[in-house]
């Protein structure tokens, strides 16, 4: 198969971790006899520096021309970077929002899995981490507060800011269908998260999700308020299979889920549209404080590449080989600094970002 990938290395540690993901993908294609080609484009702060905008129309066209997009990270230090002195529409994250909208990437899949080898890095009680967990957060990506009308005005002598939360029935229905379809391939459970005791948008969300659930009698549906879900994630994460939620709630909850895996450097993600096309990226940020030091954890980006093989190319064996390589390397005791247990350093083998990429690529086999 010919795989045509547009890459967005981005800012901070992005170029480092994308390099390692490419290294692993190249090995996969060699082992399984595929051809792969990459085209790098600029997005985020690097695009602002080069073109004055976080995402150009030419970059969008290059993304649309590919079979899938693999991304590193964008942005910088929000306190010190000149990028964040620009108006919001010109800041790095505006490029990502524009790309998601341009590509109609409405479904964000963020798996959170606790590897047994990383139990010591999990911040939860031992009795909780011993049970393990394997969940997938299905986040609606193109509606809600992030895309509603907003304004900041002077009213009676004081500044007033307004952000509008809007969801259409069709937007809710399509993400719900995707969640139930995925649940059918997992443990057949969907927990839909909302704030229906307060928000009209959540009451509509709950109504539409219940309608969709009628078409999936083999999948159980439970509703959970977002504040309770945040608590349950740290109390008993093993109860979750597929978590379905709206844009802002999903943004927050998926970051919480990532930290209980031991490190946000372990959490991959896929953003999909109605076709097989997708954008694949780690859930963590650009970590400008460690950029260029070769100490970032590339595993989330490598696992995102595995998701790309699975969802955009239907190459399940190849995706399995990457996930198996990750498990093997962890089992052998190799750790980047973010997943190195404090006080137990002598029991593990500390490796750099590039060394971790080498180890993962070396363990790819048919």
- As given in the structure block, the two tokens for residue 58 are 């030419």
Reference 322, options 297, 351, 302; nearest CA is: 302
Reference 261, options 74, 359, 163, 135; nearest CA is: 135
Is there a contact between 148 and 167 (Cβ–Cβ < 8 Å)?
Answer: no
Based on the residue annotation, tell me whether 362 is a catalytic residue of this protein: no
Catalytic residue among 120, 255, 358, 362: 255
Reference 263, options 310, 308, 227, 298; nearest CA is: 298
Ramachandran category for residue 31: left, alpha or beta (phi over 0 → left; psi -120 to 50 → alpha): alpha
Based on the residue annotation, tell me whether 64 is a catalytic residue of this protein: no
Based on the residue annotation, tell me whether 98 is a catalytic residue of this protein: no
Residue 285 and residue 17: Cα distance in Å, rounded? 11
Is there a contact between 73 and 95 (Cβ–Cβ < 8 Å)?
Answer: no
- How far apart, in Å, are the Cα atoms of 72 and each of 196, 220, 297, 331? 35, 35, 12, 25
For residue 21, give every residue at least 6 positions away whose Cβ sits within 8 Å of its Cβ, in sequence order, or none. Answer: 70, 298, 301, 302, 304, 305, 357
Residue 185 and residue 182: Cα distance in Å, rounded? 5
Strand partners, 278: 272
For residue 221, the tally of other CB atoms under 10 A from its CB is: 19
Based on the residue annotation, tell me whether 30 is a catalytic residue of this protein: no
Catalytic residue among 26, 195, 358, 362: 195
Catalytic residue among 194, 251, 311, 338: 251
Residue 199 and residue 163: Cα distance in Å, rounded? 14
Based on the residue annotation, tell me whether 215 is a catalytic residue of this protein: no
DSSP assignment of 305-332 equals: HHHHHHHTS--HHHHHHHHHHHHHHHHT
Catalytic residue among 115, 146, 167, 311: 146
Active site residues: 146, 195, 227, 251, 255
């Amino acid at each position: 198969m010919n795989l045509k990938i547009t890459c967005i290395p981005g800012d901070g540690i992005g170029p480092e971790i994308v390099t390692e993901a490419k290294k692993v993908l190249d090995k996969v294609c060699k082992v399984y006899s595929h051809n792969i080609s990459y085209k790098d484009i600029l997005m985020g702060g690097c695009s602002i520096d080069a073109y004055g905008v976080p995402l150009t129309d030419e970059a969008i066209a290059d993304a649309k021309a590919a079979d899938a997009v693999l991304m590193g990270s964008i942005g910088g230090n929000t306190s010190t970077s000149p990028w964040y002195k620009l108006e919001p529409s010109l800041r790095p994250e505006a490029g990502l929002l524009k790309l998601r909208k341009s590509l109609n990437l409405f479904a964000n899949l963020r798996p959170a899995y606790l590897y047994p080898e990383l139990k010591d890095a999990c911040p939860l009680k031992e009795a909780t981490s011993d049970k393990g967990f394997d969940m997938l957060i299905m986040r609606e990506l193109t509606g809600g507060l992030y895309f509603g009308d907003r304004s900041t005005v002077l009213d009676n002598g004081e500044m007033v800011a307004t952000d509008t939360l809007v969801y259409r029935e069709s937007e809710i229905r399509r993400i719900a269908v995707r969640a139930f379809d995925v649940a059918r391939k997992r443990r057949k459970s969907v927990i839909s998260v909302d704030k229906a005791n307060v928000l009209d948008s959540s009451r509509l969300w709950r109504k539409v999700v219940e309608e969709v659930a009628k078409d999936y009698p083999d999948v159980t549906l439970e509703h959970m308020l977002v504040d309770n879900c945040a608590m349950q994630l740290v109390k008993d994460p093993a109860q979750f299979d597929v978590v379905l939620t709206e844009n802002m709630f999903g943004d927050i909850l998926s970051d919480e889920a990532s930290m209980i895996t031991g490190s946000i450097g372990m959490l991959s993600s896929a953003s999909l549209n109605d076709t097989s096309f997708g954008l694949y990226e780690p859930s963590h940020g650009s970590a400008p404080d460690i950029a260029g030091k070769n100490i970032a954890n590339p595993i989330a980006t490598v696992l995102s590449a595995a998701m790309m093989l699975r969802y955009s190319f239907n190459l399940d064996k190849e995706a399995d080989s990457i996930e198996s390589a990750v498990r093997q390397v962890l089992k052998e005791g190799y750790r980047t600094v973010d997943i190195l247990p404090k006080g137990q350093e002598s029991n593990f083998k500390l490796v750099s970002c590039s060394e971790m990429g080498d180890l993962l690529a070396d363990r790819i086999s048919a």
